[in-house]
Amino acid sequence: MTPKIIKVALIGNPNVGKTSVFNQLTGLNQQVGNYPGITVDKKTGVCKINQITKAKIIDLPGTYSLNANSIDENVVIELLLNKNDEDFPDVAVVVTEVENLKRNLLLFTQIKDLEIPTLLIINMSDRMKQKGIELDIPFLEQELKTKIALISSRKNIGIDNIKELILNYKQLSTEPCLNASSIDPEYFNRLRKAFPNQLLYKLWLVITQDVNFLNLQRNEIENTFTRSHTELKRLQQKETIKRYQFINDTLKIGQKIDKSKATDFQSKLDNILTHKVFGYLIFFGILLLIFQSIFDWSSIPMDFIDTTFSKLSAFTKENLPQGKFTDLLSDGIIPGIGGIVIFIPQIAFLFLFISVLEESGYMSRVVFLMDKIMRRFGLSGKSIVPLISGTACAIPAIMSARNIENWKERLITILITPFITCSARLPVYAILISLIIPETRFLGFSLQGLTLMGLYLMAFVVAIASAFILNKVLKLKCKSYFVVEMPSYKVPMFKNVALNVLEKTKAFVTGAGKIILAISIVLWFLGSHGPGKDFDNAQEIIETEVYSSNTKINPSVIPDRVAEYKLENSYIGIIGKTIEPAIKPLGYDWKIGIAVVSSFAAREVFVGTLATIYSVGSQSEEEATIKMKMAEDMDSKGNRIFNFATGVSLLLFYAFAMQCVSTLAIVKKETNSWKWPLIQLAFMSGFAYIVALIAYQTLK
Amino acid sequence: MSEYNASILKKGQSAQITDINIDEIPLKLIEMGCLPGNDIELIQIAPMGDPLFFNVNDSKVAIRKKTASAIYINQESIK
């Protein structure tokens, strides 16, 4: 017998545990991709139903209804309305939860109107007893014209029931729950007559939504049936009321709630966590904990990764036959990969905290707590999430700004987020700080640690100040909408958090990794090849120079001198020398110049570039770590290249400059124009240049 | 703006919604059940008096004061 595949779409409101259900069904058989053309994550997974049947499950973005408010939600409608889509589901599985059943069922009744076989999952059944909720499942199944799986994804109860219902999806009714067209019979009758072959609800969605459909001629409908925006909204409101009437009538009989059993533990928790003093203190404490983990705890695995890769590089050099390939491997690829892998601990810690805060329901309280303060700077309470995520990486952070309803607040958030110190800056900071700040203690704190903290605070202050300015400068009129769902507090589920951290870290490493690896190979090539005779005859030139000079020079330095001379005359050396006049006022030599230029692809390339440059530029047997090589590098006058003034100037430059192509690309996608990323690039990099210039000129 | 709207509720008070100003209320809030006839209860006030955390139609949601003042309530129903 050939295996059978059932296509399943998981649909549901945010915060109903839809992703937990998905995780329980698919385990590690998940894939994260992208919907074509947009940056919405597309999660699919495979679930084995029985010996011969598998379900291909697609986890659609959470949505409150089929009236899409964002591109994430649009994905849901576009899939459900397009029968030709390869992912068009055989069965729609709507996930709801016991405590918010009323609201969750709104979406369910809309899905039912699409006449797709629909299955209802009621999640978090383990909370029913505690909340005093009783459900009459047979009655609800009859009224809602569906089959119901009462489950608890947290306790892993009822998952087999879902599988069985999916297997028998053909028995599910495709009849709508209610007749929504009665809100304006005359209008809908006309619509029905004009398009007799189309589903009425589908037509209605096409009229009210900004979505594209293959078979429906949008213009044709619009000409005769479009109404004013307010009128349509009024109709949508009527539709919603109609649906709630049905749901309320159904639940009046099908659901019993013993109000006295509802514990007030949640509101007691809220009294503390959103308290005017304790609320902020607790939030501040959590932030400290996050930073502690990033700076302190993750340094142990990071040091280990650093030395491991240095050793690996030396090992390949010694044990592989000499030649171009070995050079590429030991000087290009291995340091390049090392430069990516070293981020993993920090990224993982950050995503761990963020996903715990979100899973527990605490993040919404932070949004609630911070909204009034953030509004003064033209931001929203919801900007907090991008600003915190921005400490890991600006890309997911900018994407998370999507749920800010007000366009102006969202735009300002997107524009200032890249100022926040992302983890790509950390290795740059780490290496520079260790070069220019002594390892002493100040009032019991490590001076290096304090410097790092100072850089973070400075970035935050600049971000907020920029927001303030943008708020004054940008003349955009928008409705100040702000709606945050405040989910009940829950203990985060280990499986969800672990999968989330794994997925995000993987995405970061592979995404950034490709660029870094490609750049390190290109750099290696440019560094080990040169155009002229100077490069090819480096050996002879240096030998003549050494032996003809009067001073006694130890012949053992010849290999290093040759390597350095070669680097100076290689392609990369020439590029570096060409731009030197522009960066000299900031205190950078041509080697740093190359690193700065290559960092425009991504900041973290800085360390990798210097690693590659210094590896190519040395022929000595032992592989010292990059840091030691940088510290020992001298200019022609015998001064240290990485002195205090240059170090500070570099730190400031990296703090403010817009050096991330991927961020610019995401800003372009999210704002739908090149205008904003270009403004961002010019403003941030210009500001960085000026600040670094002032710093170097005052300190040198 | 009507005098009796959801922004005048005190913490712990609830009332019945009589009408909403459709231009000021986002659809998302309507979909959560912020509709005439349903009850709205003020659960929590943010430290600086704004935003407000409501329970409306069993949905727990925080909105800004300005939005709350577009939700009109029945004065007699306040409790």
Residue pLDDT, tens place only, A317-354: 888 887 778 877 877 778 777 777 877 887 788 888 88
Kindly state whether residues A240 and A375 are assigned to the same domain: no
Distance separating alpha carbons of residues A451 and A296, to the nearest angstrom:
14
Reference A396, options A259, A500, A316; nearest CA is A500
A488 assigned to some structural domain: no
Domain assignment present for residue A151? The answer is yes
How much is the mean pLDDT over chain A? 83
For residues A18 and A39, membership in a common domain is answered with yes
A114 in any annotated domain: yes
Helices (H), A132-195: 137-144, 159-167, 185-194
Residue B22 covered by a domain: yes
Domain end marker among A473, A495, A527:
A473
Query: In a mutagenesis test of the B interface, which of A16, A281, A486 is the best target, namely the one with the most B β-carbons within 10 Å?
Result: A486
Find, among A528, A534, A517, A533, the residue nearest to A323 by Cα: A528
Query: Could you tell me the pLDDT band of residue A405, with boundaries at 50, 70 and 90?
Result: confident
pLDDT of residue A217: 56
Q: What SS3 state is found at A55?
A: strand
Same domain, A528 and A645: yes
Instruction: Assess whether A191 and A165 both reside in one domain.
Output: no
Is B35 inside any structural domain?
A: yes
Query: Domain for residue B1, yes or no?
Result: no
pLDDT digits (tens, 9 = 90+) for B2-41: 578 999 999 989 999 998 888 888 888 888 889 888 899 9
Q: Is B12 left (phi over 0), alpha (psi -120 to 50) or beta?
A: left
Q: How many angstroms separate the Cα of A9 from the Cα of each of A76, A93, A110, A119, A588?
A: 9, 6, 15, 10, 55
Boundary (domain end) residue, out of A420, A450, A473: A473
- B33 chain-A contacts, CB cut-off 8 A: 102-103, 106, 244
A242 and A342 inside one domain: no
- Under DSSP, the state recorded for B48 is T
Q: What is the pLDDT of residue A503?
A: 84
pLDDT of residue A650: 92
pLDDT, residue A623, reads 47
Whether residues A611 and A534 fall in one domain: yes
Query: How many Å apart are CA A445 and CA A285, to the nearest integer?
Result: 18
In angstroms, rounded to a whole number, what is the distance separating the alpha carbons of residues A120 and A94? 5
Query: CA-CA distance, A576 to A212, in Å (whole number)?
Result: 50
Per the annotation, does A17 bind a ligand?
yes
C-alpha A168 chain-centroid distance? 38
Number of domains in chain A: 4
**Quick one: A648 and A517 in the same domain?**
yes
Please check whether residue A162 lies inside any domain of the structure.
yes
Q: How far apart (Å, rounded) are the C-alpha atoms in residues B20 and B36?
A: 7
Residue A606 has pLDDT above 90, yes or no: no
Range(s) of the domain holding residue A104: 4-171
Consult the annotation and say whether A221 binds a ligand.
Answer: no
Cα–Cα distance measured from residue B26 to residue A65, given in angstroms and rounded to the nearest whole number? 13
ipTM for the assembly: 0.94
State residue A636 phi and psi, 5-degree precision. -65, -25
Nearby residues of A284 by Cβ (< 8 Å), 6 or more positions away: none
Residues 6+ apart with CB under 8 A from B30: A236, A237, A240, B20
Chain B hits for A271, Cβ within 8 Å: 44
Q: Is the pLDDT reported for residue A621 higher than 60?
A: no
Asked if A103's CB is within 8 angstroms of B35's CB, the reply is no
**Which of A482, A488, A490 to mutate: most B Cβ within 10 Å?**
A482
Range of the domain at B17: 6-77
Neighbours of A376 (CB within 10 A): 12
Residue B43, domain member (yes or no):
yes
Q: Which B residues 3-62 touch A at CB under 8 Å?
A: 22-24, 26-33, 35-36, 38, 43-44, 46-51, 53, 57-62
Using 50, 70 and 90 to split pLDDT, how confident is the model at A622? very low
Q: Which of A597 and A364 is assigned the larger pLDDT?
A: A364
Q: Does A252 belong to an annotated binding site?
A: no
Q: Please report which confidence band the pLDDT of residue A175 belongs to, taking 50, 70 and 90 as the band edges.
A: confident
The answer to whether the Cβ–Cβ distance between A244 and B35 falls below 8 Å is yes
Per DSSP, which regions of chain B are E strands?
14-20, 39-45, 52-56, 59-63, 71-73
Residues 85-144 in A contacting B (C-alpha not used; CB under 8 Å): 99-100, 102-103, 106
Please tell me whether residues A39 and A166 are part of one structural domain: yes
Region of A195 (left: φ > 0; alpha: ψ -120 to 50; beta: rest) is beta
Q: Which residues in chain A are closer than 8 Å to B65, comparing Cβ atoms?
A: none
Per DSSP, A330 falls in state I
- Top pLDDT among A252 and A181 is at A252
Question: Tokens at residue A349, please?
Answer: 């810690």
pLDDT tens readout for residues A266-292: 888 888 898 889 999 999 899 888 877
Residue B21 inside a domain? The answer is yes
Each residue's pLDDT tens digit, A665-677: 888 888 888 999 9
At residue A56, the pLDDT reads 93
CB contact under 8 A, B32 and A103: yes
Mean pLDDT, range A491-507, rounded to an integer: 85
Where does a domain end: A453, A473, A493?
A473
For position A411, what pLDDT does the model report? 93
**Tens digits of per-residue pLDDT, A149-172?**
999 988 889 999 999 999 998 888
Look at residue A418 and tell me whether its pLDDT is greater than 90: yes
pLDDT of residue A452: 85
Name the DSSP letter for residue A134: E
Q: Are residues A537 and A669 in the same domain?
A: yes
Tokens of A536: 């090819």
Between CA B24 and CA A140 the distance in angstroms is: 35
At A394, the pLDDT band (50, 70, 90 cuts) reads confident
**Integer Cα distance of A564 and A99 in angstroms:** 69
pLDDT of residue A370: 92
The model's confidence at residue A586, banded by pLDDT at 50, 70 and 90, is very high
Residue A220 phi, psi (nearest 5): -55, -45
Instruction: Flag if B32 and A483 touch (Cβ within 8 Å).
Output: yes
The shortest C-alpha distance from B76 to chain A (Å) reads 23
- Domain assignment present for residue A485? The answer is no
Contacts of B59 in chain A (CB under 8 A): 100, 102-103, 485
Average pLDDT over residues A138-159: 91
Residue B71: what are its φ and ψ, rounded to 5°?
Answer: -105, 110
Distance CA A414, CA A418 (A): 8
| All residues at 6 or more sequence positions from A588 whose CB lies less than 8 Å from its CB, including other chains | A580, A596, A646, A649, A650
Domain assignment of residue A487, yes or no: no
pLDDT band at B51 (very low <50, low <70, confident <90, very high): very high
Same domain? For A461 and A568 the reply is no
* Smallest Cα distance from B75 to chain A, Å: 22
Structurally, how many domains does chain B consist of?
Answer: 1
Minimum Cα–Cα distance from A231: chain B residue: B22
Burial of A517 (0-12, 13-18, 19+ CB in 10 A): middle
- List the single range of A216-220, A228-232, A557-561, A611-615 with lowest mean pLDDT: A216-220
Give which of B7, B19, B24, B28 to mutate to test A binding, by max A Cβ within 10 Å. Answer: B28
CATH number at residue B12: 2.30.30.90
Q: Is A389 helix (H, G, I), strand (E, B) or coil?
A: helix
Does residue A493 lie in a domain region?
no
Q: Are residues A354 and A432 in the same domain?
A: yes
* Stated length of chain B: 79
Burial class (CB in 10 A: 0-12, 13-18, 19+), A163: middle
CA nearest to A373 within chain B:
B48
Mean pLDDT along residues A209-218: 56
Q: Give the residue from A107, A130, A122 showing the smallest Cα distance to A177.
A: A107
List the single residue in A244, A369, A488 with the smallest CB-CB distance to B33. Answer: A244
Does residue A24 register a pLDDT over 60? yes
Q: What angle do CA A513, A514, A518 make, to 5 degrees?
A: 115
Helix (H) or strand (E) holding A510: helix A494-528
- Overall pTM surpassing 0.95 (yes/no): no
Residue A411: which H helix or E strand, with range? helix A407-416
Contact B46, A372 (CB under 8 A): yes
In a domain, A480, yes or no: no
Closest partner CB to A481 (pick from B26, B36, B48): B26
In a shared domain, residues A662 and A615 = yes
Average pLDDT over residues A78-102: 89
Best residue in A103, A248, A380, A479 for a mutation probing chain B (most B CBs within 10 Å)? A103
Q: What is the pLDDT of residue A211?
A: 57
